[in-house]
Amino acid sequence: MKAKIIPILTIISFYMFLFTSCEDSTYKEYMGNAPVYMTYDDLRKSVAAEQNVSLMNPGKIYFKDNYIFIVEELRGIHVFDNSNPASPVKKTFIKLPGVMDISISGSTMYADSFVDLVVLDVQNIDNIHEVARVKDILPYTVPPVENDYPMATIDQEKGVVTGWNVKKIREKVYTPNTYPIYLSKGVFYETMNASGASSGVSGSGVGVGGSMARFGIRGNVLYVVDKNTLKVFDISVKTDPVQANDVYPGWNVETMFLTGNTMFLGTTTGMSVLDISVPLSPLYKTFFTHARSCDPVIVDDTLAYITLRSGTTCGGTLNTLSVVNVKNIISPSLVATYSMKDPHGLGKNGDLLFICDGDAGLKVYDASDPNTIGTHLLYTYPNINAFDVIPVGNVLVMIGKDGLYQYDYSNIQDIHLLSSILVVHLD
């Protein structure tokens, strides 16, 4: 009996060794960024009002009814009473993990929270709270890393990724079926009542975002764009958004600008134009091609203004301002191109064109003649890093790497700083 058992055990041992060896060969070990997860349950009960939260990583800005909303990227939203632009008052901070963009219709705010669309009641600034949520409707995104170590494989079943820990990682080598969207580091998104104080956000009208916005509202429709998908929500019942459509608007869409019945989308390769005269069913109209680059766009009457910048994940080497004639919407034509240093967001009011030129600061141009903008620089503020702007009446609201700045441009001969809300740097 023994003579028969020995070879059988030998065979079993051989296969166990072979299996273990094969299994081990499917793993790799390396120093990298291990994801820090927040469960979906925790994400969906995390909205809360907090006080004494400093501005540390400013993102996009939004204005409505004398209130400025500053997105603290992936963390929440700072709210300031801007009844007196020379002295804005901090009101509250809304903790909202994963937020990058917001838009407000009446007294209802719509915001992204990683994979969810969250609806907030902002009528009473002292009691902002969640009233609805559309779960798992947005692309799975992960925050940027702060180093050159590789990122570990993401397990979306564990929840959303809120950060990274550098450590030794052992993981199985395989090809995932889905790929999350990786946010770049420093992702820095009508007529308004700009006078008088208010006790809260009113139940009428739509606020205004900057040129970097990815959220937009037209009537009872909310548009959310992300890379290659335009999601259309019916918000006839403001606290119950219903997804009505999914539209392919083009490749690598970054920003959205709405005017009249037209939607202009800035992409890494050009400007996509859609007809939204039937708001729930956007129709593709045309595409204006430019060199590969990051591309916010704004439109004033028959002219579109596009900034292109290099040194990003968008690719490209150009740093320019392009002016495009869009009077014939089917056939846009280039009017002029001007060299810039590192252009980001931009805004326009009358003949004044405001351009955030990155580390080159804020620049103010006379744009009355689109063919001579480059030679009509009125003001420059070079000692700030400028990201995006919103002209509000005679006040320019500007967000940058170091905080929020407001300028009075009521007198074109004396454009001057009114106030600033600076970033707090932790040691």
pLDDT digits (tens, 9 = 90+) for 95-146: 999 999 999 999 999 999 999 999 999 999 999 999 999 999 999 989 988 8
pLDDT of residue 171: 86
Burial (CB count <10 Å: 0-12, 13-18, 19+), residue 423: middle
pLDDT of residue 268: 85
Burial (CB count <10 Å: 0-12, 13-18, 19+), residue 95: middle
The answer to whether the CB of 134 falls within 8 A of the CB of 154 is no
Has residue 2 got a pLDDT over 50?
Answer: no
Domain assignments of the chain as residue spans, ordered by start: 32-179
The type of residue at 89 is V
Taking residues 292-300, report their average pLDDT: 79
Helix (H, G, I), strand (E, B) or coil at 10: helix
Q: How confident is the model at residue 405 (pLDDT cuts 50, 70, 90)?
A: very high
Long-range contacts formed by 109-113: CB under 8 A, 24+ apart: 109/69, 110/215, 110/217, 110/222, 110/233, 110/235, 110/241, 111/77, 112/138, 112/215, 112/224, 113/43, 113/47
pLDDT of residue 218: 96
Percent of the chain whose predicted confidence (pLDDT) is above 70: 85
339-368 confidence digits (pLDDT tens): 999 999 999 999 999 999 999 999 999 999
Residues forming a β-bridge with 171? 28
The type of residue at 391 is P
Taking alpha carbons only, the member of 72, 40, 49 closest to residue 161 is 40
Helices assigned H by DSSP within 239-344: none
Q: How confident is the model at residue 233 (pLDDT cuts 50, 70, 90)?
A: very high
Phi, psi of 107 (to 5 degrees): -110, 25
User: What is the rounded distance in angstroms from the CA atom of residue 268 to the CA atom of residue 331?
Assistant: 19
Taking residues 175-200, report their average pLDDT: 46
Q: Report the relative pairing of strands 221-226 and 160-172 from DSSP bridges.
A: unpaired
CB burial of 339-377 (b: ≥16 within 10 Å; e: otherwise) equals: ebebbbbbbbbeebbbbbbbebbbbbbbbeebeebeeee
The type of residue at 146 is E
Percent of the chain whose predicted confidence (pLDDT) is above 90: 75
32-179 has CATH 1.10.10 classification: no
For 85, the token pair is 């632009």
CB atoms inside a 10 Å sphere around CB 130? 19
pLDDT of residue 292: 55
CA distances 369 to 31, 331, 374, 413, 414, Å, are: 56, 21, 10, 19, 21
User: What is the rounded distance in angstroms from the CA atom of residue 126 to the CA atom of residue 51?
Assistant: 11
75-84 confidence digits (pLDDT tens): 999 999 999 9
Taking residues 61-83, report their average pLDDT: 97
User: What is the rounded distance in angstroms from the CA atom of residue 339 to the CA atom of residue 356?
Assistant: 13
Which residues neighbour 71 within 8 Å (Cβ) at sequence distance 6 or greater?
58, 59, 60, 61, 62, 77, 78, 99, 100, 101, 102
